[in-house]
Structure 1
């Protein structure tokens, strides 16, 4: 309650008749508490012992009588100022009847002051609004007896056993699980995740609603809330504040997460038990969605989701975010600026430390979340609108609170001592140097090693394998390695040979007849054409004999190849390793490739030995983006570091991001087999601010160019 409010009048205004006063859970210090429910606005106001005793005697109407009666009948000794503060609090929240002549005018003035401009109204409703869809109280009461078994201890133990067993089985095939997760990161996967999230959130909200109904709390409505145009289901359980037992409120707040985790555990166990197919894919999406949403979003106390209300009730600090923020601001002003800033309210030292640390973590968490939301808004809306909404997000959630706090610091600048000003100035200069000085020089990328003489054999067209060599076999340059065949090509060749032979016979026949000599030139042209067709067919057939481009050893022979197997042009059949040194092919992000130059220094760290640093030199930088990865070991579905498009189609290894190939020659001959790893290359130095601003300016120029 605020103490800077107007003095109570001679006769206390009466309380509104429809208000309801109910006992609530005791405060952390053991003192009793009560809750006032305003049924019109469905708001709840928590009161302490002093406020309850004063309101119990409010019918006396005379301030002096109220104070005297409270002091005489209780151990409390209320003051006039405390009664004035309570009166002001009741007025502020419209809990008093409006009988005084000036009261209506004050209400009208307050209404006008609270009216928002059209811009602020649109901004507020764009950022968050609710759409109630159902009034499910009757349905929930009818459904509850049918689901009473859900709340039995046996069910809880069974759910716990199911989840633990599912996680244990998943740990035994963790590679398969992570590979499936990497493959799901696509636009098709995003659609399936949205469907799975709809199922998981329905279970989540039903858990809140049923548990609230079980404890006699009315669920006013359920519907869809939009946070920055992102839809999410919600359940109105505001009236749970009427419950005096904290355990019941915690049960309602945590019921959604418990239901979602139960669904996750059951889906995880089922994923391990069913065979590959659509059902297993659906269970995977459901399990991962429920686990991720529950553990990273719903259980997080840093946003106003379930974890926040559970923690707020557990530590008995209603409005935890606002009160922790007030404590943290006061601590910063005292510690950083040396201001004599009092705490907004008294707390024990351990609780003070908890609230300050909690506020700091909340700020950092929200900074990451709000920036992510802003980026998502930019991506999902068209061009100019996406940029404008991105700016609105950053301004409202990030910049606006910082600027308001900075304004408070500036207003109190005269109270900051001179030594602190010097220290703050040095800190600001250091921060500016970190942002403006070009100290970032390294470019990091994923890559793989291969011999400098390395050739992967592919069939030039769909064909059958006629002859297979053995892995490890050595070949001389130009020697045949793989023999392939295509029956249709053989038929076309035989037909072309027959036609060429027939045309040659026809030419000889015409040459033997004197009267047909005028047709000889045309016949010769036909013979030449048929010979060209035959030669083209023979050349095409010769392409099916894959020769060694250099002397080397055959490796990576596909173990599934047998004689008669059909192969596609995209399918790698085997590789030939020459006798030269080793190189690295690194795949660099588009924003970093222009920072590199030939002859620059580079270091390769193999994935199996990250502590081994192998030096090298940049020898070639591609100027066009990579459309196809050279080997499956680089692709995420096969355990590699690079995400690809259409991960369910193994024959397509197209990188999802814009990557450019950079070739690096390693010093010495220190490797024995191709492997993946990370690469660090020396590039043009850039400042942090420059590395942020340049891509942003490129995006702005691109999006505003119609």
Structure 2
């Protein structure tokens, strides 16, 4: 470029920035209209410093003469393109003005487009706190002292030690508080923690002379959260100061969690201790699960960007990963984006890939949240829109680039991907998938819970675990029943003597029927009490083995009514009850082979055969060990008194084991059943279609 070049906008400011990682100086261009910063290097700075000479040849000569740099016209052209892209040049002619106007028109969105992109996240500025922050900072400056830091570290160790001694109580309190009644308490704790979080950002920015433009409320997925605008922290040339501002919120919440945890350990039960529990748990969860994550633009991201001294980390790593994908998959030799250290390239690529995976699941969660939050018609529409906007559109844009540049792909890459595509197509379309995996409950084919039908005192316990049919297992006595029987027999004897005394009495024959009826009633009561006592003699209904005997049982111990004492199992025949989803139950037939992996200390396999298949879904779980609330594998919901209904539609399949397990006890197992072969893709498409049909009803 031998002629003149466009002038810079007059309101732009050039500010010093922290040096690049290679030691070269850097600066920031501040656009005060939109409050945005652009990082430039030494070469660009020297060019902008002499931009007023107005002629490219004079500018080049001055830079090459006065510095050790060697620049040419391509450097000026690149800088002009950069300035134009970010609207940093004056519109000195009609063409430039028209270009700016056209760009503004393209960026305009109608009301629907604005709502579509901003209803999940938008900010509402409420206050401009700069003067208040400056006036109040002296009162809280002591929080930034080393004494405060050492105090928090001491409290953290002390609280950790104390809570380790009350860990069972703490976890039990946490489980008890996970309910609808505790939502209000956690909400108040969340407000307090977030307010402290944002104030920490604001005061730390004020400490380093950064203006806090405003504070307000941000609506994040329809949930209000406080926010602080500290975007001007990029004015700081010291990256450690920028990192201090970014990490202030996390440190404040950790400090709150440390103090609240210690207070909970030291306080007695009451409202204040419960409040400390809410503050402690809320602060720990927010800090560890949300704020620390670098994959979304929360505090963890800005901290990592400051550690690496790399603004726009997400955008730069994403650009690096796209180039890597094009090169690795198709041999498209795009230039690598400029980075200060080429050794960072693999790490930036990995970071971008992890970010994409993390965001994929986050966006799926957001789409599901939107679907359940709105009424069904709007929920379905917004669910589809969210998946397209956040996932579909970026993927489609990159696929479009691949298609447009297909001619740049090497022939070898094309052949390789054609083979991969055909292999994947065959893999998902050919019916080869025969095995069906499920969870199972192993138990004896015949088993009986031994319990006392009445309350009583133990007089005899089984001497061995192996029993035969009819063997006496437990003998209990009930002094109350024995007393009632003895009383009834005594009354019967007394009545019988009265009957014998009627001989010779004038009206004796008239009294005889009443006394005889009373005598028979007493005899019947005595027999009934005797039969009730005989029920306390517990016998084996079949031959088998006793296990799960209550370890607290002993002679003389009192037992409650219907208290389980032991389990009698027929150890000659064992079955597994497997629970299959409705999509797979049609693939299983009676007589199909099965393989069961028993979850013992040393897992092992046993073969089995399908005996029966239920035609109706499982109404409730047959054993508590299957319930997820008790650590089992099946998620349930409450259904009636003491019954838990599976959330998923499951069918029971009864499988007979071909050999007995090593240990005679009930337990969980991993079951693999051989079923009808099905192709993976049509099967999944049928499942998706079933969900769409189910959810389409209004």
Q: Name the TM-score, length of structure 2 as normaliser.
A: 0.78
Stretch moving more, 363-372 or 588-597: 588-597
What's 1:605 paired with? 597
CA contact (8 A) 2:618 2:651 kept: yes
CA contact (8 A) 1:454 1:575 kept: yes
1:218 aligns with 2:211: yes
1:698 aligns with 2:686: no
Residue 155 of structure 1 aligns to a residue whose secondary structure is helix
C-alpha displacement of 1:686? 3.8
Deviations 1:140-183 (A, max 9, x none): 34443343343233333443454456556667787887777777
Match of 2:355 among 348, 358, 362: 362
1:140 aligns with 2:130: no
What's 1:664 paired with? 655
Deviations 1:167-202 (A, max 9, x none): 566677878877777777766677776665444444
CA contact (8 A) 1:53 1:70 kept: yes
Structure 2 unmatched runs, 5+: 481-524
C-alpha displacement of 1:352? 1.9
CA contact (8 A) 1:222 1:234 kept: yes
Cα gap change, 1:682/1:565 in structure 2, threshold over 3 Å: closer, same or farther?
closer
C-alpha displacement of 1:395? 1.7
1:56 aligns with 2:46: no
Match of 1:465 among 455, 461, 466: 455
Q: Distance in 2 between matches of 1:12 and 1:636?
A: 69
Residue 613 of structure 1 aligns to a residue whose secondary structure is strand
1:424 aligns with 2:413: no
Stretch moving more, 420-429 or 362-371: 362-371
Residue 205 of structure 1 aligns to a residue whose secondary structure is helix
Q: Distance in 2 between matches of 1:442 and 1:170?
A: 47
Residue 95 of structure 1 aligns to a residue whose secondary structure is coil
What's 2:492 paired with? none
Match of 1:16 among 10, 35, 43: 10
CA contact (8 A) 2:442 2:667 kept: yes
Q: Distance in 2 between matches of 1:440 and 1:184?
A: 44
Residue 340 of structure 1 aligns to a residue whose secondary structure is coil
What's 2:512 paired with? none
1:381 aligns with 2:374: yes
CA contact (8 A) 2:593 2:610 kept: yes
CA contact (8 A) 2:452 2:560 kept: no
1:344 aligns with 2:318: no
CA contact (8 A) 1:473 1:554 kept: no
Cα gap change, 1:105/1:12 in structure 2, threshold over 3 Å: closer, same or farther?
closer
What's 1:614 paired with? 606
Cα gap change, 1:480/1:639 in structure 2, threshold over 3 Å: closer, same or farther?
same
C-alpha displacement of 1:239? 0.7
Cα gap change, 1:329/1:218 in structure 2, threshold over 3 Å: closer, same or farther?
same
What's 2:426 paired with? 433
Stretch moving more, 465-474 or 219-228: 465-474
Cα gap change, 1:83/1:482 in structure 2, threshold over 3 Å: closer, same or farther?
farther
How do residues 621-700 of structure 1 correspond to structure 2 at under 5 angstroms? 621-645=613-637, 653-684=644-675, 685-700=677-692
Residue 219 of structure 1 aligns to a residue whose secondary structure is coil
What's 1:452 paired with? 445
Deviations 1:546-589 (A, max 9, x none): 9768246765567899999887x9x8676444454333334444
Report how many aligned residue pairs link the two structures.
647
What's 1:306 paired with? 299
C-alpha displacement of 1:610? 5.0
CA contact (8 A) 2:2 2:55 kept: no
In terms of Rg, which structure is larger?
Answer: 2
What's 2:514 paired with? none
Q: Distance in 1 between matches of 2:89 and 2:169?
A: 64
How do residues 228-239 of structure 1 correspond to structure 2 at under 5 angstroms? 228-239=221-232
Cα RMSD after superposing both structures: 4.5
Match of 1:585 among 577, 590, 596: 577
Q: Distance in 2 between matches of 1:140 and 1:544?
A: 81
Q: Distance in 1 between matches of 2:272 and 2:611?
A: 49
C-alpha displacement of 1:75? 3.2
Q: Distance in 2 between matches of 1:627 and 1:382?
A: 29
